[in-house]
Structure formats: C-alpha cells, structure tokens
Structure 1
C-alpha cells in the first residue's frame, strides 16, 4: 500500500470527524430504549463501543436468521464467524473479533446517505469488528482493511466503508482502537473474504512494515 492512502484518509476524517462524534453520542442515548427478540447477550468485546449513527445495532444478533430493528433500520444475519484471531504486523496487533454478512433495510431517513454507496433501498454487506493496538512507544499509521475481496470476485477499498468509525490513520503510542468496518456487496453467498491491511508507517510517513493479508472463512 502506498503511503498516499493516509493523505486521503486524513482529509476524510477531518470532514466527518466532528459531526460523527456528536451524532454517535446522541444515537447511543437513543438506543438505550431499543429492544430485540434475541436471547443473546452482547459480547464483552463491545464494551465501551459507541453505536454507529448510520447502521443498525447488530451486537445482539449472533445466530443466523436472527433480525434486529432500531431507529436506523432492520438487520438480518446471514452468516457469522466469531472466533477471534490476532495478527501481528510489526508493532500493530490487529484482532478480528467477528465477521458477519448482514441484510440491511435502512430507515427512510438514511436512504440519501447510502445512495453514495448503492442505489438499492436494501442491500447485503459484510462487516468486521476489529481491535487495533499499537504496542510501540511512538505513533503509527495503519488501516485495518485497505482492500477487501470476496470469494465471488468482488473487491472493495477503504473508501467504500459504510461505518466511518475512524479506525484508519494515526494510532497513538500504546493506544487501542476498536470498531466496525463494513462494505456493501452484491453477492451474499460467499465462502470467504480476504482482507488486505495497509502497510505500517511511522510519524515521518516512512514504511516500517508491509501489509498483511487475512482470510476469513464463513
């Protein structure tokens, strides 16, 4: 991955960062009244996670066929992989806690947001909940999913991420980030996805480690 990816990422984060943070806080408060028919409990790795303002809450749904509806729309789980795997890329520890394929019917008020990704009023997407830890004493720059490829031949880049949870870019010394990345796909019946991370860069934009490829099978 070329280091130019971070120039584009940084610009995007500047434009959306402040508005997303405010929106996420209000969404988190609203969702305290949301309910689900699932008997599942929220996995512990979601502790302190702030709910996304664009995509419905999928934390409860852990069994294929389950659905959940909230103010952002309705999600139905089509496939899941929830055995955590950790990958070490120089001083970065990337843990994929879960991967899911979901069908989403967004609320009418969110249709315009998703029109920049698809013109379908409901769609399938693949998402990963990731934790990124910088184990070094200096800031680093990294993106957990620079490219995502599916077994059906679809390919997505970090620019297609619908969650926008600021996992890309700089991560401080000994800092941990966690959140979702997700990508709309045309074919939900897939056997696996392959994630290509970015390279790892230091503060001076010097590459210190090559990208890693991670294969997740459903």
Structure 2
C-alpha cells in the first residue's frame, strides 16, 4: 500500500498542472474569525451542483448542472498535520446526482450510469513551510462496502493535487462515484508529501470518517 501511495503521489507531482479547475485564492488571514479567505472565496464547481445549502438527508438542489440529493452528511471539522501540510476536513456527504444532459459526456468517462451516487469531502490544505511542496489530500478512498477508488477518478477537479506554494492555502472538494451508498464509514489515504524536487518529506496519513 505504501508503494502505491508513493507512486500516486509521484505521478501527481509530475502531472500537477493537469487540472482544469480555476485557481483558488492563496492567502489566509490570521485574524479570520471562522472561515479562511480560501474557504469564503471557493468558486462553485463547473460540473457538479453546489451542495452548500444541503444540510439534511432528503434535501434536493436543482440548477443548470443537474439535480443533487443529499443522502448522508457528517460535520467533521478535523485538523490533521502531515509534515508541513495542515489539512482540515470540514464536512463529508453522500449524494445522488442526476447530471444535466449537457454534462452526461463528462461523467461518462467515469461511469456509464445516467445518474449515480458519490461521496465527497470539503477540505482546506495549508503549506505551513517556506518551500513549495506536492501533496494530494485524497490519493485513495476506501468505503465500508469495500470499494477502493484512486485520485484519478475525482469528479471535482478543484486543483487540490497541484503544487502548493509557501504558506499557501487551498480549499475545495474531492468526490468519488460509488456503487453502494449505504456506508457506515469511509477512509481517505492522503498522498505522501514531497518537496518541489521530488524528495519525500512525510509519509501519507489515513483519515477515517464515520457516518
């Protein structure tokens, strides 16, 4: 497993510029009372409807990207230190998406179903060092139903696997299509942390989230 995580992180390091998501704000005010500037200025995803107003199971949001229904939710607010990376997991959700017809082709690269369930987490990552590093907040996701999914199948593409600069903060979602949504928990394995020249700084961490 360690070899797989290292290979995934190295691949992310080589291909860190491939995401098509808009660049996220990088400055975080030390005096922000509750939310960092990166979180407050998070741009809605171009492929997935905005779920921020969905707080209770059964609630639905409909917009030009499709219809999104919340199935499970958990407020996490856990902070994890992984070498120079400070990673905050804000919330976790299991949702059902009926994509708009205009987006069906996009999702067909990941599933042949016209509608599907997925699990997502909103994360904030900060590089607390004065050097550039490479890090992926979710290299592998494993559900309580035994499904294992790697970072290449993230449906959000919020740019969180790209290089992160000195004292830079990024915020966004990572989400993965799943076959079985009646989860009791899931586990995220982060990537290792690498320096800009590819040297491993810190081992990956496993983060388990219970519903």
Q: TM-score, normalised by structure 2?
A: 0.87
Separation in 2 of the partners of 1:217 and 1:187? 16
Structure 1: any 5+ residue segments left out of the alignment? 25-42
Offset at residue 212 of structure 1 (A): 0.1
Q: Does the 8 A contact of 2:94 with 2:117 survive in 1?
A: yes
Offset at residue 8 of structure 1 (A): 4.7
Offset at residue 12 of structure 1 (A): 6.6
Offset at residue 47 of structure 1 (A): 1.1
Question: Which residue matches 1:125?
Answer: 118
Separation in 2 of the partners of 1:84 and 1:166? 21
Q: Does the 8 A contact of 2:12 with 2:162 survive in 1?
A: no
Separation in 2 of the partners of 1:184 and 1:177? 23
Residue pairs, 1:42-81, within 5 angstroms: 46-81=39-74
Q: Does the 8 A contact of 1:73 with 1:106 survive in 2?
A: yes
Residue 104 (structure 1) aligned with residue 97 (structure 2): yes
**Residues 115-143 of structure 1 deviation map (CA, whole Å, 9 limit, x = unaligned):** 00000000000000000001111111100
More contact order relative to length (CA 8 Å, sep ≥ 6): 2
Structure 2: any 5+ residue segments left out of the alignment? 25-33
Separation in 2 of the partners of 1:82 and 1:89? 21
Cα RMSD of the aligned pairs, angstroms, is: 1.9
Aligned length: 196
Separation in 1 of the partners of 2:192 and 2:76? 25
Residue 5 (structure 1) aligned with residue 9 (structure 2): yes
Offset at residue 2 of structure 1 (A): 1.8
Question: Which residue matches 1:144?
Answer: 137
Mark the CA change 1:205 to 1:192 in structure 2 (over 3 Å): closer, same or farther: same
Offset at residue 9 of structure 1 (A): 5.9
Q: TM-score, normalised by structure 1?
A: 0.85
SS of equivalent to 1:2 = helix
Offset at residue 203 of structure 1 (A): 1.4
Give the number of the structure whose residues are more often helix, by fraction.
Answer: 1
Residue 83 (structure 1) aligned with residue 76 (structure 2): yes
Mark the CA change 1:61 to 1:44 in structure 2 (over 3 Å): closer, same or farther: farther
SS of equivalent to 2:11 = helix
| Runs of 4+ that moved beyond 6 A | none
SS of equivalent to 1:83 = strand
